[in-house]
Structure 1
Amino acid sequence: MRPIIPCTAPRASKVLFPHLRQPQRPASTVSARVQQMTTTASRHPPSDSQRSAIQKFAESNELRFRNEALLVDALTHSSYASPHTPLDIENKRLAFLGLKVLPLYVTEHIRTQFPDLPADAMESVMKAFTGPDVLKQIGTKVGIPSAVRVKEQALGSSTPASISGRMLISLIGAIYQDQGPQAARQFVEKHVLSRSVDVSIHRKMLYPRTLLDTIVKESGGARPVAETTKEAGIASATPVYGVTLKLGEKKIGEGFGNTAKMAETRAIKLALRTHYHAQLHKTTLPSQIDEEGITFFPA
């Protein structure tokens, strides 16, 4: 008879739910450990005027950092990196964290508020909350341009507002690291999830070809034309197609994909979000939908 060997593997609950194994580490402990690190704020300390601007920014947004160096790091652009050690910028690490935190809370919100929303529509709503232009608007609204530390040569002809979206993501990462998930969630709820998003539009976007076809027919306007602009690796397992959607000579959409149809669909979606955005609210999809039978490539 074979001897019975006792199982030494950890219990499933401890593997699947690590928070049951040990209490969550207090945010102050995390902050204390970070404080021991050499941060961008210590290598490139802010001037008196910069420090004053950051303090005003924190007060106006009711931000109370245990480790103020993290706030400085979040608002310090990568142009402050040393030419000898270009990876020494803490802002990028905070942005990495923010890019994980922000989608988590937004996805949770969408799933809770709209439980019957299809996955493709959820992705579209996610972009409405966290798209680059949206985050830039939010970052500007909370006052990031007046507090951000960025070297002029890095901006070129742009303004600090142009980088507000990226700095906002770093700020969210800094709040999470300094104060924990609850504070980060509250900031996201206040500034990101408080925006009004018409979910009905994103339901319609599940049928982009039908939607654009309907808009064109109802308006009596010219029909956009799709043309293939790129074909690469056609004989390989991962071909890439590029499709441009034009209205006359004007490019109103562009998309890429593993098939020409996929690229065309993405170009149509971009055109709907930009060129035809005003018509989306008042357009009703027909009762009979033939999404697969509609194309904007010339016959």
Structure 2
Amino acid sequence: MANFSYKRIEKKISYSFQNKKLLKEAFTHASYAYLKNLKYNNERLEFLGDSVLGLIIGEYLFKNFPEQPEGVLTNAKAYMVHWETLSTITDFLEIPDFLLVADADRQIRNNPKIKENLFEALVGAIYLDSDLQTAKQWVLDIYEKTGFLVREPEKVIFDYKSKLQEILQGEGLGLPEYNIIATRGPVHDTSFIAEVKIKGKVVATGEGKSKKIAHQNCAKKVLKKLENKDLNELLDED
């Protein structure tokens, strides 16, 4: 576990705070604030950061893709601000271990939703410490580095299961079947391993921190395979 360090966090996120109190607040979980009898935690910054992030991503999509309809932009935005995306970005920055939590709640640093909240709080803190333009540049740079900056919104598939189901029904093959076949890791940080069957044949497996994510990753793998072969070829594989 990393000890809280202004210098190390600022190096990780490539941003130096003028008001260090905002950085500390962004990394203060409610459990730690309660334990230490603090008058602040990161929930208010999370609330603000959620709105700031939504504005930044919405403006990016609106200005860069004027030819795309509202539905396409909405789907792309949902993908870019989804909790799984934000959790992955937080891991990329290597900052979850700096989150201040009560000792009894240390395992929550591994919770994807807590990581999402931390990222949103950080966005809110950077916005208050600087201005919207600076926060926007920081956010878009991070999205660029992590590969989450959408370049072709019309190609974004946010719900892989629904897309796979649509393809299968179009071919008259019915619904895919998903099963959890194993788990790994401790109780507080469990990963689920799933398989997906088409016409009774296992065509892919996937892993995730929840059953839903594992199912989505299964479907994502199938769709990836279908980029290079048709369904009949996939079902004929040994």
User: How many equivalent pairs are there?
Assistant: 193
Which has the larger helix fraction? 2
Q: Are the aligned partners of 2:76 and 2:153 in contact in 1 as well (CA < 8 Å)? A: yes
Q: Does 1:76 align with 2:13?
A: no
Bigger relative contact order (CA 8 A; separation at least 6)? 2
Residue equivalent to 1:110: 61
8 A contact 1:201–1:281 mirrored in 2: no
Amino-acid identity (%): 26
Distance apart, 1:83 and its partner CA: 6.5
Post-superposition shift, 1:79? 0.9
- Matched ranges for 1:136-285 at <5 A: 136-156=87-107, 158-160=108-110, 162=112, 163-194=114-145, 195-196=147-148, 197=150, 199-202=153-156, 212-215=165-168, 223-224=175-176, 273-280=216-223
In structure 2, distance between residues paired with 1:62 and 1:204: 29
Q: Distance in 1 between matches of 2:120 and 2:10?
A: 16
- Call closer, same or farther: CA 1:215–1:117 in 2, change over 3 Å: farther
Distance in structure 1 (CA, Å) of the matches to 2:104 and 2:158: 43
Deviation at 1:110, TM superposition (A): 1.0
Give the partner amino acid of 2:23: L
Rg larger for: 1
Q: Give structure 2 stretches of 5+ with no counterpart.
A: 178-195, 201-212, 228-238
The equivalent of 1:18 in structure 2 is none
Contact 2:68/2:154 (<8 A) preserved: no
Change (3 A) 1:148 1:271: closer
Q: Aligned runs of 1:49-88 on 2, under 5 Å?
A: 50-51=3-4, 53-82=5-34, 88=39
Per the TM alignment, residue 193 of structure 1 is displaced from its structure 2 partner at its CA by 4.9
Partner of 1:40: none
Aligned residue identity for 1:185: K
Deviation digits for residues 258-280 of structure 1 (CA, Å, limit 9, x no counterpart): xxxxxxxxxxxx99955422344
- For normalisation by structure 1, the TM-score amounts to 0.53
- Aligned with residue 97 of structure 1, among 48, 56, 73: 48
Paired residue secondary structure (1:115): coil
1:199 counterpart letter in structure 2: P
Aligned equivalents of 2:42, 2:81: Cα separation in 1: 19
TM-score normalised per structure 2? 0.65
C-alpha contact 2:49 2:125 (8 A) present in aligned 1: yes
Per the alignment, in what secondary structure is the counterpart of residue 276 of structure 1? helix
Q: Is the 8 A contact 1:144 1:168 kept in 2?
A: no
RMSD: 3.9
Contact conserved, 1:144 with 1:161, CA < 8 A, in 2?
no
Structure 1 residue runs of 5 or longer lacking an equivalent are: 1-48, 226-245, 249-269, 285-299
* Deviation of the 1:65 alpha carbon: 1.1
Aligned partner of residue 128 in structure 1, secondary structure: helix
Distance 1:140 1:54, change over 3 A: farther
Distance 1:57 1:100 in 2: 23
Contact 2:78–2:158 at 8 Å: present in 1 too? no
Q: Tell me the SS of whatever aligns to 2:42.
A: helix
2:87–2:116 CA contact under 8 A, matched in 1:
yes
1: CA distance, partners of 2:118 / 2:166: 39
Query: What residue identity is the alignment partner of 1:58?
Result: E
